[in-house]
Each structure stands twice: as C-alpha cells, then as structure tokens.
C-alpha cells in the first residue's frame, strides 16, 4: 500500500491539533489592557508555544520518515494512529497545565503525554523498519541518539516536577530546542541515494 493517504490523514490531524489549542487559551475577563492580557494569557501563550513546537517537531520528523519509506502495511497504519492518539491528547494536557498555572500534577501529566508520544513514535519507526523498504530508513536514521535520549529527558522532567513544578518543563524545552536544530540526516541520506530517487 502507498503511504500518501496515511500522510494526508496525519497532516490533517496534526494541523488541527496545532490550531485548536488556540481556542482553549483564555482571554482577560472583561479587561482590555496589556497587563490583563499578560496576567490571564501569558502562561497559556508560553505553554502553547511549547506544545506548538512539539507538534511541529513531530510533523517534521513524520514528514522525514515517509520521505524515505513509501510502502506501508496494516501494522504501520495502526502504529501511526497510536502516535496520533497521544498527540491528540496534547491540547487537553496543555489546557490543564495552563489552567493550573503550571502546578505539579498537570506538569507530570504533560510529561507523561510527551513520553507516550515518544514511545508511540519509537513503535512507529519499528513498524516501518519491518516493511520491505524499511531498511533504508534504518540506514538514514543511523544511531538516532536524539530519539533515544528524549524519553530520559521527559522522565527527568517528571521527576523535577515533584521538586519544583515549573522546573519539570525545563527538560521538555531543552529537548524541543535540540530537535529544532535542523536535522539533516534524512536529507543527507536522500542526497546520497539521489540516483535511486530520480527513478520515482
């Protein structure tokens, strides 16, 4: 089976997730000054920025995955839906985080959400590795240090939240910054194998 519809569906889900989070941001209740906006919406905007970056990173990585691999099977379909399920919870957990002004339990729940998405992404990669052209992806990703270390950072964030709630967001922010540095692994792989690509 071809992957184009899986990509289109995933693009749709991630585009909606990224956009509806703004609907949840609360505005000042009757006041119309900068100070009131910052007071009521400031934390919401910052956590929205973090969640936007995460969904953007997943979209970008997802995009790279399916640049290399084209054929998918039923296992990949379900592994992908599993990833989308975790991502679809981000607007909920980020709303709770925002409402609580970054309290302990909401920060932990947000971290668990990121951890679940990371695990789902890992399982999706494994499912792709088992498809006929999956070996190409394995080669393109190499050792995948970033992918392997991220879950430990989320765990560190969950632990930190028990000490100081807002400190629990520091590791996720660091992970996001690390992923934001353009990842040229897939591009380099595509350049190396440009001969093969030219046949598509």
Least Å distance between CB 39 and a copy of itself?
A: 13
> Rounded to the nearest 5°, which phi and psi values hold at 3?
-95, 0
Binding mask 67-96 toward a copy of itself (x if CB under 8 A, else -) reads x-----xxx-xx--x--xx--xx-xx--xx
Q: Binding residue for a copy of itself (CB under 8 A) from 149, 164, 177, 180?
A: 180
Q: If binding is defined by CB under 8 A, does position 119 make contact with a copy of itself? A: no
| Residue 34 near a copy of itself by CB under 8 A | yes
**Residue 137 lies near a copy of itself (rule: CB under 8 A):** no
Length of the chain: 200
Minimum CB distance to a copy of itself, residue 149 (Å): 20
| Angle in degrees, CA 84, 156, 121, rounded to 5 | 20
Least separation, in Å, of the C-beta of 4 and a copy of itself? Answer: 9
Q: What is the CA radius of gyration of the chain?
A: 19
CB of 180 to a copy of itself, least distance (A): 7
> Smallest gap, in angstroms, from Cβ of residue 104 to a copy of itself?
8
DSSP label at residue 32:
-
> Does 100 engage in binding with a copy of itself (CB under 8 A)?
yes
Cα 18 from Cα 51, distance rounded (Å): 8
The pair of structure tokens assigned to 85 is 């399920």
DSSP SS3 for 114? helix
* Number of residues in contact with a copy of itself under rule CB under 8 A: 65
Calculate the CA dihedral of residues 110, 116, 121, 124 and round it to 10 degrees. -150
Work out whether the CA dihedral 100, 102, 108, 112 comes out positive or negative: positive
d(CA 44, CA 26): 8
Q: Which residues, in sequence order, are bridge partners of residue 71?
A: 2
Q: Is residue 59 involved in binding a copy of itself (CB under 8 A)?
A: yes
Interface ranges with a copy of itself (CB under 8 A): 1-2, 5-9, 11-20, 22-25, 27-28, 32-34, 37, 41, 49, 52, 56, 59-60, 63, 66-67, 73-75, 77-78, 81, 84-85, 88-89, 91-92, 95-96, 99-100, 103-106, 108-109, 180, 182-184, 186-187, 190
């Amino acid at each position: 089976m071809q992957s184009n519809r899986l990509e289109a569906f995933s693009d749709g889900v991630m585009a909606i997730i990224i956009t509806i989070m703004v609907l949840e941001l609360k505005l000042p209740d009757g006041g119309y000054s900068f100070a009131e906006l910052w007071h009521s919406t400031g934390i919401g905007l910052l956590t929205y920025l973090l969640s936007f970056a995460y969904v953007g990173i997943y979209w970008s990585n997802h995009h790279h995955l399916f640049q290399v691999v084209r054929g998918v099977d039923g296992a990949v379909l379900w592994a992908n839906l599993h990833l989308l399920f975790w991502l679809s919870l981000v607007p909920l957990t980020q709303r709770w985080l925002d409402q609580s002004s970054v309290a302990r339990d909401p920060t932990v729940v947000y971290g668990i959400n990121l951890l679940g998405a990371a695990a789902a992404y890992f399982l999706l990669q494994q499912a792709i590795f088992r498809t006929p052209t999956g070996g190409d992806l394995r080669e393109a990703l190499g050792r995948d240090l970033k992918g392997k270390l991220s879950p430990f950072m989320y765990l560190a964030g969950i632990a930190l939240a028990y000490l100081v709630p807002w400190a629990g967001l520091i590791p996720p922010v660091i992970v996001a910054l690390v992923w934001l540095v353009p990842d040229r692994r897939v591009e380099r792989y595509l350049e190396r194998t440009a001969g093969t690509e030219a046949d598509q």
